[in-house]
Structure 1
Amino acid sequence: MGAIYYLFHPNQLRSIIQWKVWHDPVHRRDPSTESTELQECFRLLNLTSRSFAAVIQELNHELLVPITLFYLVLRGLDTIEDDMTLPIEKKVPLLRNFHKTMQEDGWQFHESKEKDRELLEKFDLVVTELKKIKEPYFKIIEDMTDKMGNGMADYVQNTEMIENGVQTIKEYELYCHYVAGLVGEGLTRLFVASELANPKLLERPSLTESMGQFLQKTNIIRDIHEDWVDGRRWYPKEIWSKHADKWEDLFEPSKRGKAVECVSEMVLDALKHSEECLFYMAGIRDQSVFNFVAIPQTMAIATLELVFRNPAVLDRNVKITKGDACQIMLESTQNLATVCEVFRKYARKIQKKNDPRDPSYLAISQQCARIEQFIETLFPRQDPNKLTTENKQKQNDQPTMDPGEAVVLFGVVIVSLLAISGIMIGTAWFFGARFDNIFKEFGTLLPGGEGSKPLITGHDEL
């Protein structure tokens, strides 16, 4: 089936081959220098992460291990939160105390039924490696784990939200903050502590927050069908209630049009973070770190374009094709300018799919225009028409020539022409030119000259 697909989609196959052949990691992990415990941590990373494992292992060696362990700690925390078989009275203390648990030698957890339970069963390996990293990095991981664990515990205990779903956009964004915004904060602190990012990023927490919000909101929008099947409801009622009387109505085929409009408004809400995401990436100093933060963001805007005005998202979990993913990664691992072009491309695709009948039509059009306008401020394009206009304006702004200068210039030109002509005639005379014959021949062409008299010939036939 795959071979047939690529036969009819050769561009997809080309992108995959280009990524496999031409992608050269900035840094390569060297397993020969790692302890057995650390090698097992990387195996757990590959086991629990489909999206981040590859880019994490291409990070600058200064951050390779700290970010790997940070991911595994948060994945362990997330596994506990997602496990619906654990009673609340057991789950809440685990979440709130996980920042302490991650320091207990030999700690393991064997009561989870989640797919990533092996990580918890072998968590003692993570604890061992955490104690080997630099103290500043460990403190950052500990602090973020404390904040995230308490935030998750608050939501686990929020029975109203569990039963009725997220109600307001404010609640929705607070949830995204705890599960993604705090991750972004921790990563930014690690980037700055390792001197691989501009310290000014810490003074603009809204930039870091937008990075996390953009990713988490995209995941929630895409996973609407999967979450509905599992009994979860992350779309805020403040948005979906504009398009349906009941949450279940969004999945009725007869009301598919309204459901698509609901997804459109959710996409609009996510797109508002685009400009700050691009601004954040401008503060990254290291290429491997830039790749690490850029790839998820470009994948996110491509995913938003995929789900926008796409009714299939309500029936199944739609994903970017492997070929498109490889093409996006190729374009995202160069520099900010190419990343901006990816954002511009998908913003235009969203604008092209936008339907005037959609209640969010105007707002989406304006947001797509804002994205393009922001990119234009970062990397202005050279429009030929604009350049021509500017050149004309420059010419018009130049002072006109003074009349006296014009007379002098005209005189210089005439004198130069006469001098050149005199030199040419003198040279010709010196080499034997017969000007008298020339004047004589010229005279025959004038009226009254010899050449002007008619020549009468006889008519012998008369």
Structure 2
Amino acid sequence: MLISCFLFCWGNGSLRENSKLRDHELNPTVDMEKWMKMLVRDSEKQIPQVPHWRFCYTILCQESIIGAFIIHQLDLDLRNAVCVFHFMLRALDTVEDDTSIAKEVKVPILMAFHRYIYDREWQFACGTENHRVLMDKFHHGSTAFLELKSSYQEVIEDVTMRMGAGMAKFICKEVETIDDYDEYCHYVAGLVGLGLSRLFHASGVEDLPPSTFFHSTSVFLQKADVIEDYLEDINEIPKSRMFWPRQIWSKYVDRLEDLQYEKNMVKALHCLNDMVTNALLHAEDCLKDIGAVRDPAIFQLFAMLLLITMGTLASCYNNIQVFRGVKTLRRDLAAKFVDRINTISDFYQAFYDYACMLKSKIDDNDPNATKTKERVEAILKTLQGRQNVITEGELASLS
């Protein structure tokens, strides 16, 4: 689920100042893990000492070792709202993800889920491991939800209603066209971004247009996830999950699962590059969105999200390892940027570097090479233009 991916990103610059390890030189793959665990332990002291809130924050920590600490950079009311938002969407996603549930059972639950969030008695056993525990103890999420102020409840109810309906629609149909693909990504990801922006707006920390803000950012990330999760989704038990649109993959193979076979390596790379090129369509809107953010914590949250996404796409492009199940490590990417992205200028430069990395990998023999180059060049041009209009005051406000 996309909201879990949001929480792999870092909060504001005070993270480093709060850490007892701040004076140490950190190895991003070893010491960073210890650092994050220390931050979570410190943040746990701020969790309300009642069972339902402790359970909701425990679920959050299970999704991301640094998720709870990021949320604790926010004011108490907004912090709790985002935690409950995560809980409810994680539960909704657990129902959608469980391919063992019959369609005739799953669809009504997805459609009615926005009503269950008010019901302390509702329970539905599904999912595995931690996600099953979440569903078994769903009443804790409902109890926490009912303690939020009404403006936050309205956002969470509306997003779960729209997302549940969208998920139900795509339980009953395949992702055939690129329009289908965009619509599916809107339901499972775009709505997360819109919901977060509405929560930020309701709290008063941002004066952003909540009807559109962060939608492109969310879809951009979702498409990177769909690309990276190819093998995992194809091998899902008891039934494959197929999110790559037929309109794209049918140009290269007869069946989507054929892309994983060695004999189809060249076709697989061409299809992969086509998918990456499609995702790049959203990058320019993302750059416009983040340029309007004023709160430092929210800026760094979305800056890391966008850099991880662009880094993932640059890594996946023309990379056969995508079909072997090898994934980019989000934590390593976040660790790489934690001490480097303090201003919007830092962000633009890092995004520019990833775009250049992708451009350098474009194979002129690829059938989509011209289109890919055009999209990367458009991104580079946008970045150059935005760098030229940054003022010293804007940089200082985000430092």
State yes or no: 1:288 paired with 2:303.
no
Counterpart of 2:357 in structure 1 is 349
Sort the Cα spacing of 1:19 and 1:44 in 2 relative to 1 into closer, same or farther, 3 A: closer
Deviation track 1:138-177 (CA, whole Å, cap 9, x = no partner) reads 111111111111111122233xx2xxxx211000111101
Larger RCO, structures 1/2 (Cα 8 Å, 6+ apart): 2
Counterpart of 2:231 in structure 1 is 225
Sort the Cα spacing of 1:111 and 1:325 in 2 relative to 1 into closer, same or farther, 3 A: closer
Q: How does 1:437-456 map to 2 (within 5 A)?
A: none
Sort the Cα spacing of 1:209 and 1:151 in 2 relative to 1 into closer, same or farther, 3 A: same
Q: How many angstroms does 1:274 deviate by?
A: 0.9
Q: How many angstroms does 1:257 deviate by?
A: 1.2
Deviation track 1:194-220 (CA, whole Å, cap 9, x = no partner) reads 222233x236x2x53211210110000
Q: Distance in 1 between matches of 2:359 and 2:161?
A: 41
Q: How many angstroms does 1:49 deviate by?
A: 4.3
Structure 1: 5+ residue runs without aligned partners?
1-10, 383-462
Counterpart of 1:360 in structure 2 is 368
Sort the Cα spacing of 1:381 and 1:15 in 2 relative to 1 into closer, same or farther, 3 A: farther
Q: How many angstroms does 1:79 deviate by?
A: 0.3
Q: Distance in 2 between matches of 1:179 and 1:129?
A: 23
Q: Distance in 2 between matches of 1:86 and 1:313?
A: 28
Counterpart of 1:247 in structure 2 is 256
Q: Distance in 2 between matches of 1:51 and 1:250?
A: 35
Q: How many angstroms does 1:50 deviate by?
A: 6.2
Q: How many angstroms does 1:265 deviate by?
A: 1.0
Q: How does 1:1-40 map to 2 (within 5 A)?
A: 13=27, 29=43, 31-32=45-46, 34-36=48-50, 37-40=52-55
Q: State the AA in 2 paired with 1:149.
A: G
Q: Distance in 1 between matches of 2:343 and 2:61?
A: 26
Q: Distance in 2 between matches of 1:12 and 1:366?
A: 39
Sort the Cα spacing of 1:33 and 1:113 in 2 relative to 1 into closer, same or farther, 3 A: closer
Superposition TM-score, scaled by structure 2 size: 0.83
Q: How many angstroms does 1:137 deviate by?
A: 0.8
Counterpart of 1:156 in structure 2 is 171
Q: State the AA in 1 paired with 2:281.
A: K
State yes or no: 1:79 paired with 2:88.
no
Sort the Cα spacing of 1:152 and 1:49 in 2 relative to 1 into closer, same or farther, 3 A: farther
SS in 2 for 1:116: helix
Q: Distance in 2 between matches of 1:54 and 1:305?
A: 28
State yes or no: 1:261 paired with 2:270.
yes
Does the 8 Å CA contact 2:113/2:161 hold for their aligned counterparts?
A: yes
Sort the Cα spacing of 1:131 and 1:248 in 2 relative to 1 into closer, same or farther, 3 A: closer
Rg comparison, structure with higher value: 1
Sort the Cα spacing of 1:323 and 1:148 in 2 relative to 1 into closer, same or farther, 3 A: closer
Counterpart of 1:370 in structure 2 is 378
State yes or no: 1:337 paired with 2:345.
yes
Superposition TM-score, scaled by structure 1 size: 0.72
Sort the Cα spacing of 1:33 and 1:215 in 2 relative to 1 into closer, same or farther, 3 A: closer
SS in 2 for 1:188: helix
Instruction: Give percent identity, aligned residues only.
Output: 31
Q: How many angstroms does 1:272 deviate by?
A: 1.3
Measured on the aligned residues, the alpha-carbon RMSD in Å equals 2.7
Does the 8 Å CA contact 1:44/1:119 hold for their aligned counterparts?
A: yes
Q: State the AA in 1 paired with 2:292.
A: G
Does the 8 Å CA contact 2:190/2:219 hold for their aligned counterparts?
A: yes
